[in-house]
Structure 1
């Protein structure tokens, strides 16, 4: 009987020792994190937000994260954060008392939105002329979509207004008189520039010329002079003459 008690006690002690060994955990290893960014456009603008993720290739489940901006703790502990401020970002992973080293610095640079400029030699036009305006964003290679406005009204393509690329072409009507501005936006992104400075276009009605001459009658062989005048106009006109609806040749300059 005594021998049996000793055997039971020995088995119990061995079982307890095995149980203690099984609860001993190996040291936790957490690899160095890497910061990834989404969306990863070549150029980011200050109206955009981006998501930074702290990627750890090797580590135990249940990790927490620490985020830093310009070496200051942001107090955020999820794997991904959304930010919209310039700065130098770092992260690290942790579980209980074990922490990874910090990631390499990710520098987030958000550019100010560009301001487009209108380029055109046209400031005055007569009805019926064709006028072209261009919306330019200097030193920029983004795939912008351009919008045009006359006053506060957005222009749409039609018979009198044609938009192609960054150009607006007008078949000038009296209603086209006014101030034009342009604006650009990026495909598939919530990025819109501010509006350009206004470009004024003054539309004039075509003047009606007058013929001036003292001659109303003439004999054959006489030389008669007629003048085509456009009062109060300094434009460099080329003049055409007609007799009974038939154009005379050659084209004469003024007289």
Structure 2
């Protein structure tokens, strides 16, 4: 696991450590604590590590942990007071009518479906800015800035737009992205029994975070896209109709 942790580290100083979380990994231990989280892995190397914020299990990308109590307090306050700039990238189903806009609708817990969220007037305020970077017709590659940090915010707001995130098993159709659905005259190779998906996980990535360090200097951190997303975008670009 040591090498693996090293591969995930984007930035580190005496106060914080920033990592590029893979999709499918928990940020912090869940109640059952049956599987290893990113925090568990970090604690093997850093006995003192503090949670500042978290990412959904299915979301990949940038996450920071504080390395001492003072840093924990400093960074946590910035998140609470919305002093951070949080940028995400995601692949949405279909082609959006408007190439940019704002989704400003409250998000509440879905009382009939545990662990999920919904747009509801009794919810907490939630604002997401979006901008279409590439329109592939079947899918759209979209830039997001979230001004609030509600659970599943981008996923819920994307659904509200009528264009859920690709491979979203909760708010979308959950279908993997297949080359056969993009490429005309697709043929399965002789040795393959079935087609391997280009992307079989939530198409959402925490890309960039701007925060102030303990000296009051703004730092911008960036997490490169993981290989599966890069490969998917490459194929969408190649076979764009």
Q: TM-score, normalised by structure 1?
A: 0.21
Bigger share in strand: 1
Q: Considering only CA atoms, is the larger Rg found in Structure 1 or Structure 2? A: 1
Q: Which has the higher helix share?
A: 2
Provide the TM-score with structure 2 as the length reference.
Answer: 0.22
Higher RCO, 1 vs 2 (CA within 8 Å, ≥6 residues apart): 2
